[in-house]
């Protein structure tokens, strides 16, 4: 059974230790509260990360679902991209340059540090009318199970293909039911609890780790609502909540 260690640092920022590598997802480390102006939209954070950027252990690579929004990549987080591999969207890699590499849906790249190797496959996503987004399936050679990181997406039919292609042990799902009136008239741009429960059933995942559900004003669902939707779907036993800042081994 695949052994991993997961530390939820805040929002969508996670330190994932897998296959001997440390992967950092969607690095957002600015102090909070903070206000960000993004075109016609103002985003407000309400809480900062449980562990600051300066306190992180060595990070081997970054998995960046998209580079355009500060709840997934802020000014402090951008400082962590230099000098290490970054896997992200094709358009984001072009904007970021450096060691950023784009992943099209179902494209696979290998991350190797010394004799430690993981395979990362890009997965489809839809983040409303606000730019490209990717998720990730991370595999360790020789292991039967994989880890899925959804990125900021709603549940679209293309995501049901993941469970047919991979055996997902742990899924890190970006939730929060984010809604922004200026983007799509207030339609969902990340999953709510009901969508997450439906995707969990599709994935066949043994465990779901919720992330990206607090610390920002544009999230409309928190832990209580997510737990209720999973209970209604008969999937309450799949949820695994992490304590921010605490590294938790999972298998």
Tell whether the model's pLDDT for residue 183 goes beyond 70: no
Domain contains 17: yes
Domain contains 85: yes
Domain contains 156: yes
* Per-residue pLDDT, 177: 95
Tell whether the model's pLDDT for residue 14 goes beyond 90: yes
Domain contains 62: yes
* Per-residue pLDDT, 9: 98
Domain contains 159: yes
Decide if 144 contacts 123 (C-beta within 8 A): no
Domain contains 218: yes
Q: What is the pLDDT of residues 195-225, one digit of tens each?
A: 999 999 999 999 999 999 999 999 999 999 9
Tell whether the model's pLDDT for residue 230 goes beyond 90: yes
Domain contains 250: no
Measured CA to CA, the distance from residue 11 to residue 114 in angstroms comes to: 31
* Per-residue pLDDT, 12: 97
Decide if 88 contacts 64 (C-beta within 8 A): yes
Provide the domain count of the chain.
1
Domain CATH code at residue 165: 3.60.15.10
Burial state string for 212-238 with b = 16 or more CB within 10 A and e = fewer than 16: bbbbbebbebeeebbeebbeebebeeb
Domain contains 199: yes
pLDDT band for 185, please (50, 70, 90 cuts).
low
């Amino acid at each position: 059974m695949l052994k991993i260690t997961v530390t939820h640092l805040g929002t969508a920022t996670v330190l994932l230790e897998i296959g001997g590598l440390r992967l950092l997802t969607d690095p957002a480390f600015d102090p909070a509260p903070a206000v960000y102006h993004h075109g016609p939209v103002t985003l407000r954070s309400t809480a900062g990360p449980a562990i600051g950027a300066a306190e992180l252990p060595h990070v081997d690579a970054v998995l960046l679902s998209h580079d355009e929004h500060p709840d997934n990549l802020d000014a402090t987080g951008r400082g962590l991209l230099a000098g290490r591999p970054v896997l992200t969207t094709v358009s984001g890699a072009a904007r970021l340059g450096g060691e950023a590499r784009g992943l099209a849906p179902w494209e696979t790249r290998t991350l190797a540090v010394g004799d430690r190797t993981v395979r990362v496959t890009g997965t489809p996503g839809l983040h409303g009318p606000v730019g490209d987004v990717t998720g990730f399936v991370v595999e360790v050679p020789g292991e039967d199970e994989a880890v899925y990181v959804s990125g900021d997406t709603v549940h679209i039919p293309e995501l049901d293909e993941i469970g047919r292609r991979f055996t997902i042990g742990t899924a890190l799902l970006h939730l929060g039911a984010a809604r922004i009136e200026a983007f799509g008239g207030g339609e969902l741009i990340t999953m709510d609890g009901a969508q997450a429960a439906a995707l969990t059933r599709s994935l066949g995942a043994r465990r779901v780790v919720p992330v990206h559900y607090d610390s920002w004003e544009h999230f409309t669902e928190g832990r209580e609502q997510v737990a209720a939707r999973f209970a209604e779907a008969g999937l309450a036993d799949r949820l695994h909540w992490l304590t921010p800042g605490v590294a938790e081994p999972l298998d």
